[in-house]
């Protein structure tokens, strides 16, 4: 089955910068060494947490090359390639394949939002799937795009043989349940946030691409494993414990909060790129408290 590997826990890794704002690839390699020892099923590079919109084309390709070269060969690399034009998305997808990505994660084009009808979006994803040399995963992220793909449109796009899955960050578990009923098990469904990981699994999701997995990979993997083994009590307790931390590094402080949390747990988070701003000291203190409450920091 083509999506057999598209199961489990995938962190959308941040892009590290140095104090001058340049790619800090040596620190990326250090982080990859840490994640190699964690119970993860693959890595996502150049997602929303990877500040992909702040990187030029050469930087994007270099990031994928380094991750592909230093991550365990057994763990697939998924690369974000979404752009506002179909032409550029196909070009970035070809770059990603050349650099070692096993699949591409394609965000909905959104600049001309009012023109992005279901037909326009279906045509876009179909053209990308036709032109991409590796499989395509649809990325639904309404918080960033202002577009929330409905189950019918996703199912229509999923009819393409080169579209193998969905990362959905809408938090609409009912939609995921509807989609799972519409599409067979060969199509991978991934929760886009640790805040609803267990609910998504309960309605048929295959795993998750979660910011939380960067700093709490063991706990995320334990939720997945407990659910798979039928230990819902353990899975529920872990999910509840992680929700406040997940909220802090997603909707509350976003990428700056995630990078600060990484610094606190001994990874390299480092600076964000402008116009993003770092979190302040009070936020760092609160993040430390939340990491301890979630048993990520002792």
DSSP designation for 297: -
State residue 2's pLDDT score. Answer: 52
Pairing of strands 12-13, 103-107: unpaired
Distance CA 266, CA 179 (A): 39
Question: Range with the lowest mean pLDDT among 2-16, 113-127, 188-202, 252-266?
Answer: 2-16
Which distant-in-sequence residues (6+ apart) come within 8 Å of 184 by Cβ? none
Q: Is the pLDDT of residue 3 over 80?
A: no
167 is catalytic: yes
Distance CA 118, CA 128 (A): 15
> What percent of the chain lies above the pLDDT cut of 70?
99
Quick one: how far is CA 159 from the chain centroid? 22
Region 110-119: what's the mean pLDDT? 97
The candidate with the shortest Cα–Cα distance to 71, out of 17, 29, 103, is 29
72 CB-side CA count, 13 A: 13
Pairing of strands 163-168, 136-140: parallel
End-to-end CA distance of the chain: 41
101 CB-side CA count, 13 A: 30
Region 55-70: what's the mean pLDDT? 98
Going by CATH, does the domain composed of 8-231 fall within 3.20.20.70?
A: yes
Domain ranges of the chain: 8-231
State residue 64's pLDDT score. Answer: 98
- Span 21-36, pLDDT tens digits: 999 999 999 999 999 9
Confidence of residue 4 (pLDDT cuts 50, 70, 90): confident
Q: Is the pLDDT of residue 89 over 90?
A: yes
Region 178-184: what's the mean pLDDT? 95
**Per the confidence metrics, is the pTM higher than 0.95?**
yes
Peptide bond into 260 cis (omega under 30): no
Q: Is the pLDDT of residue 38 over 50?
A: yes
- Span 190-249, pLDDT tens digits: 999 999 999 999 999 999 999 999 999 999 999 999 999 999 999 999 999 999 999 999
Distance CA 128, CA 238 (A): 38
Q: Is the pLDDT of residue 61 over 50?
A: yes
Task: Please give the angle made by the CA atoms of 132, 163 and 65, to the nearest 5 degrees.
Answer: 45
Q: Which one from 167, 175, 218, 259 is the annotated catalytic residue?
A: 167
């Amino acid at each position: 089955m083509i999506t057999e590997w598209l199961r489990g826990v995938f962190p959308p890794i941040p892009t590290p910068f140095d104090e001058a704002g340049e790619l800090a690839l040596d620190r990326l390699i250090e982080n990859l060494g840490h994640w190699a020892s964690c119970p993860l099923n693959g890595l996502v590079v150049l997602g929303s947490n990877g500040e992909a919109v702040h990187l030029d084309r050469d930087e994007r390709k270099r990031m994928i090359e380094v991750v592909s070269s230093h991550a365990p060969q057994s763990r697939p690399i998924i690369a974000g390639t979404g752009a506002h034009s179909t032409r550029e998305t196909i070009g970035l997808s070809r770059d990603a394949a050349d650099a070692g990505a096993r699949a591409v994660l394609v965000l909905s084009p959104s600049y001309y939002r009012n023109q992005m009808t279901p037909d326009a979006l279906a045509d876009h994803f179909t053209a990308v799937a036709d032109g991409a040399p590796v499989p395509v995963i649809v990325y639904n992220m309404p918080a960033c795009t202002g577009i929330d793909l409905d189950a019918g449109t996703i199912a229509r796009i999923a009819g393409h043989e080169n579209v193998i899955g969905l990362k959905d960050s809408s938090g609409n578990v009912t939609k995921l349940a509807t989609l799972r009923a519409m599409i067979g098990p060969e199509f991978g469904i991934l929760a886009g946030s640790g805040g609803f990981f267990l609910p998504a699994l309960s309605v048929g999701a295959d795993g998750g691409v979660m910011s939380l997995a960067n700093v709490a990979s063991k706990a995320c993997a334990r939720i997945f494993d407990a659910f798979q083994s039928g230990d819902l009590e353990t899975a529920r307790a872990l999910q509840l414990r992680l929700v406040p931390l997940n909220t802090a590094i997603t909707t509350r402080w976003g990428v700056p909060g995630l990078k600060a949390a990484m610094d606190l747990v001994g990874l390299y988070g480092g600076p964000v790129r402008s116009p993003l701003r770092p979190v302040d000291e009070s936020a760092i203190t609160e993040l430390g408290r939340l990491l301890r409450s979630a048993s990520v920091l002792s």
